[in-house]
Structure 1
């Protein structure tokens, strides 16, 4: 782009990152926010200048009171919201929580009021559809040692 080119509008998505943690039985950890209905994965919006993995780690520490290592990227999803606009959402692998990490979980009591481990077949009823699609894609990516790219929660073929 040269100096004489008229600048054009570019996407400025809201960016968020979450983490999937598992127990010894392969169930996924979900959290229940206090400020809205339903369940979520631990995570949230990034702060300015923060990378997705840094934001995911910060959110986990704020919400759960633990600071386990954040693993590899499982999913990147371009998922615009009809009200909130463009969104770019990342899901990282948190791996299996060790017993001492599980025992150290301390909910913040402000944003998160409850947590529980759930089977994969429960995510469709517990999560909003677009997040359920993302979590299912993350499960598949984890099993395949891959990273999935989604648009609107759907893998590109």
Structure 2
């Protein structure tokens, strides 16, 4: 039986529709706020906890946008959830404080910048979530690609993909 690692993240937006990304201290590149679930924790609880830990804010975690089955040869089976956090309130934006341990800074970025800022597998997942946003319900992905039955999505075998 599969024993997947499960993680959850949240997409937050500014008035212009740009996506909030965080800069981890422990690796190159940018990420979305989020992280791995603790035992007994639901994906939405994890997303809310991680946002509070990383950015010191407690905004509501909105609906699920995508669930992505994305095993990685170097890291094993993964199931990754991305929730819609909507637009942060003025108070939350003013209160954002990176923890300085895991996250050094944060910034909003245009959709056109995401592929150059995020690793490919995360970029595919975030872009799919953006495309699905506002359509209702959640979309199922495999390796960041929509799967609607039939043949499974192409397996990605490179560690950075």
Pick the TM interval, shorter chain: over 0.9
Q: CA deviation at 1:146?
A: 3.7
Tell me which residue corresponds to 1:4.
none
Paired with 1:142 and 1:91, the residues of 2 have a C-alpha distance of 11
TM-score (norm 1): 0.92
Output the CA distance in 2 between the equivalents of 1:145 and 1:50.
24
What's the counterpart of residue 116 of structure 2? 125
* Alignment partner of 1:62 out of 53, 59, 72: 53
Q: Say yes or no: does 1:33 pair with 2:29.
A: no
> Does the Cα contact within 8 Å between 2:30 and 2:117 map onto a contact in 1?
yes
**Offset of residue 147 of structure 1:** 1.5
For residue 67 of structure 2, what is the aligned residue in structure 1? 76
The correspondence for 1:94, drawn from 85, 92, 96, is 85
Match of 1:20 in 2: 11
Gaps of 5+ in 1: 1-9
1:44 and 2:35 are equivalent in the alignment = yes
Q: Which digits, 9 at most, give the CA deviation of each residue in 1:96-130, with x for residues without a partner?
A: 00111100001100000010000011100000001
Contiguous gaps of at least 5 residues in structure 2:
149-161
| Aligned length, in residue pairs | 148
| Cα distance in 2, alignment partners of residues 149 and 109 from structure 1 | 33
- Larger C-alpha radius of gyration, 1 or 2? 1
What is the Cα deviation at residue 145 of structure 1? 2.7
